[in-house]
Amino acid sequence: MHDEQRHSLESLYRKYAEQLFYYLVKLSGSKELAEDLVQETFIRATVSLEFSEAENAKAWLFKVARNVYLDEWRKRKRRERIPFLSRLMKEKEMVSPYGIPEEEVVRQAGIHEVKELLMHLPEKYRTILYLREYEEFSYKELQSSLELSEAQVKTELFRARKKLKEIYKKAERSEGQ
């Protein structure tokens, strides 16, 4: 590895390691595993070094981190059944600047209830909401890290928010009975 590449990778580590750690804690539910996965992410980054533009480095690293996590999850799933994304987002992570439906859910339900509702979302919806709302990924970064088109990103976010609202309304109806 050239000095320039090493410096670039060290710079990326200082800039994104903590964000990747929290992202991987949310996915895995384990701080220890998240630490290992961050290291594995940067090992893979060292091997491939596919990024070319600094503005795409963050999305590229989150894509690598997600793939590292999925590889680990598949290995563990073969050995034992583990819940996917058992740790859920905190209240502040779900507040949308657009005021739809996460904000409505947070306003109307306590944080415990929100966590319960989120457990019913499919993994892909939890992931895209996490990256958009907590990590503040742009649509372009979501496209790159999740390997989706811009239209797919918008559609998935819309569906995730709609599904969350449906789950909330269903839970509200069942409590009223």
Instruction: Return per-residue pLDDT of the chain as tens, 177 residues.
Output: 567 767 777 888 899 999 999 888 888 888 888 898 999 888 887 776 655 445 578 888 888 888 888 878 777 665 544 333 344 444 444 444 444 454 544 444 455 565 667 678 888 888 887 788 777 888 888 988 888 998 999 999 999 888 988 887 887 787 766
Are 106 and 63 in the same domain? Answer: no
What separation, in Å, do the N-terminal and C-terminal C-alpha atoms of the chain show? 64
Q: What is the pTM of this model?
A: 0.49
Are 104 and 57 in the same domain? Answer: no
Residue 122: inside a domain: yes
Domain that holds residue 128: 91-176
Are 52 and 120 in the same domain? Answer: no
Are 124 and 52 in the same domain? Answer: no
Other C-beta atoms closer than 10 Å to the C-beta of 133 total 21
Query: In residues, how long is the chain?
Result: 177
The CA distance from 137 to 152, in Å, is 15
**Number of structural domains in the chain:** 2
Tell which residue, 168, 93, 169, has the closest CA to residue 126.
Answer: 93
Sequence-separated (6 or more) residues with CB below 8 Å from residue 11: none
The CA distance from 144 to 58, in Å, is 10
